[in-house]
Amino acid sequence: MIEPDCIFCQILSGERHSIRVAESPLSVAFMDIQPVNPGHTLIVPRRHVPSFTDFTVPEVSDLMMTAQEVARGLRSVFPDHDGITLSLSDGASAGQEVPHAHLHVIPRQRADGFGWRRFGSKTDRETLEQLGQRIRAGIAGAS
């Protein structure tokens, strides 16, 4: 299914230009036009899927296999980079700007200035156990 107003669907259909670096039957990897670092690549499913939670099992598997392939390529091209960040924001409040689920694969160097800030604080074990129990129940209820 293609959404005509979705920029990623437009890229997948060829209506918009992209620099593709990898393709599979279920996903396409292309260069991000506003990269965090050179080589920043996006991987999108061929099917219009707004949320990560709507992926099929084969799509999740394919997305991660494509990410691994791209990461290997990035490590080869950028041997001075010592890391790869994989990032998938699910929903507007998580920072998802395009409502077509996608995975960022970003080559990293220690001093590149990009990174996750840790805003949390240490939580006691009892609180974590209670939350873990709720999440396990939520997972069981969603299956």
* Active-site entry in 40, 81, 100, 102: 102
Q: Sign of the C-alpha dihedral, residues 80, 86, 92, 98?
A: positive
| Residue 4 host element (H or E) | none
Residue (of 60, 42, 40) closest to 51 by Cα position: 60
- Asked whether the beta carbons of 78 and 38 are under 8 A apart, the reply is yes
DSSP classification of residue 99? S
Amino acid symbol at 10: Q
Residue (of 137, 133, 80, 78) closest to 110 by Cα position: 80
Does the annotation mark 102 as catalytic? yes
Q: Which residues are catalytic?
A: 102
